Amino acid sequence: MRVNIKHSGKTHPVEVDPSKSVSVFKDAIYQVTGVPSDRMKVMIKGVLKDDADLSKLGLKPNQVLMVKFQVIGTSGPLPSAPTQQITFLEDMDQDAVALAVRNPPGLVNLGQTCYLNSTLQALKTIPQLNVALDGFSSSSSSPESKVTNSLKNLFSGLNQTADPVPPFSVLSNLRLMAPQFAETDNAGRYSQQDADEAWTQLLSALKLSLGSSSGTDGPIDKMMGLELTSKLQCAEAPEEPATTSKERQLKLQCNISINTNFLVSGILDSLNQQIEKTSSSLGRMAVYNSESRLSRLPQNLVVHMVRFYWRRDIQKKAKIMRKVKYPLQLDTLDLATEEVRSQIQPVNSAVKQILKERDDRAKIIKRNAGKATSDDATKEVDIRREERKKIEDLVKEKGIDGETNVSGMYELYAMVTHKGASADSGHYIGWTRKESEVPVASGEEEWYKFDDDKVSVVTADKILSMDGGGEDSVAYILLYRAVNI
């Protein structure tokens, strides 16, 4: 069941299992708000106690719960003047800045493991995945269960430290499950691997380990599963009846050709294909047009930029350097089936208008040097409550599945980039969006850069600049999440 957690003027969707303990629920809230559980007050008919039974509280889907930050401790003497000279951020080196602002911890490179480190940092940003891992327990000794359990322990450890963490367990279990990640070169050193292949293997393990025992969609399918409806029509015999099929996937492909300039056009290119197969009406091989569209929009959408291809002349993967622009806010209306498009169109239009108005209000706050008064904060909370109510009413009216992206609008929140000329070399870096306590207009957000154990902060301009054109870092895996009103 999903409920909405309201904290500091923002609302976060959180999955709650009434059969689990309050501590598991609070940890899920911590993942999205950053409020430590020991300083958290959850308001459900009063303050939620740690020994409460969630199944007896009458929680309802999409119910809004308040989370307050509690300051613990008694008053003490006033602080004295600093004994050391004050050092400003602009005078610090990268390591000192990371320590001062308490950036999230990086991951230690264990020898050509940047492909894994960047992938793990991106995966960790999915709130629903953290909740599912917190509730995971298994006595199975399967390789997939071992990978899943090591991911659970790693993510939990990253929440409890500011120091870089070596992902030994995840790496060793991944190599046991998928031996290609244990390949070595002629000198006996571990080889560089493809981040997309690591992503695929990790999700495969998670899907199997976290899967539903009832035969319904498991957590991975619910949070990331997209459905493609494909229509196959014979180009040489138009009178031949078209066939329709459905397929579930966990990511979209963005093909890159000499004509590809934008993300959506590359995705459409991958969804519109020509194939050859035997025609029942012609009695021979014929050309068929295949057109696929999204009939389920997941809350978390993964896009793989297909930048590597096999070159027979050099017998290795080569990299496509072409510049392909991608947006911070992605509208998938043109990628959806006609049925889905007509259903979500009113919500899509309403959400885009709300996002525009929010950007306008955020720019006003920025012009006022970020000085928002308590009255401004209260007004913003009231406005957003009305905005959410409007969207909720539209979703209910249109009968849209609440576990999908109800508007078709996404925002970029994490990505993996690759630097270099081939998949067998170069360097991978992870990037995740930094949450802001005050409203920020789209394009003015700050992001974390995870270069293995080195973590720094960059602007959105840097994120948008990595669209290709050279051997510098270029977007390879994009993670979008449904815009949450």
Q: What are 247's strand-pairing partners? A: 228
Tell me how far CA of residue 131 lies from CA of 22, 51, 224, 228, 358, in angstroms.
13, 19, 14, 27, 29
The dihedral of CA 151, 154, 158, 162: what is its sign? negative
Q: Which helix (H) or strand (E) holds 366?
A: helix 338-367
CB 124 within 8 A of CB 158: yes
Q: How many CA atoms lie within 13 A of 196 on its CB side?
A: 21
Residue spans of beta strands (DSSP E) within 196-335: 226-234, 243-249, 252-254, 272-279, 284-296, 300-305, 308-311, 316-319, 329-331
Tell me which residue of 483, 480, 484 sits closest to 264, measured CA to CA: 480
Q: Give the residue numbers marked as catalytic.
A: 114, 427
- Pull the structure tokens for residue 261: 């300039």
What burial class does residue 463 get, using C-beta atoms within 10 Å of its C-beta: 0-12 exposed, 13-18 middle, 19+ buried? buried
What burial class does residue 146 get, using C-beta atoms within 10 Å of its C-beta: 0-12 exposed, 13-18 middle, 19+ buried? buried
Residue type for 255, please? N
Q: How far apart are CA 375 and CA 9, in angstroms?
A: 12
CB 118 within 8 A of CB 5: no
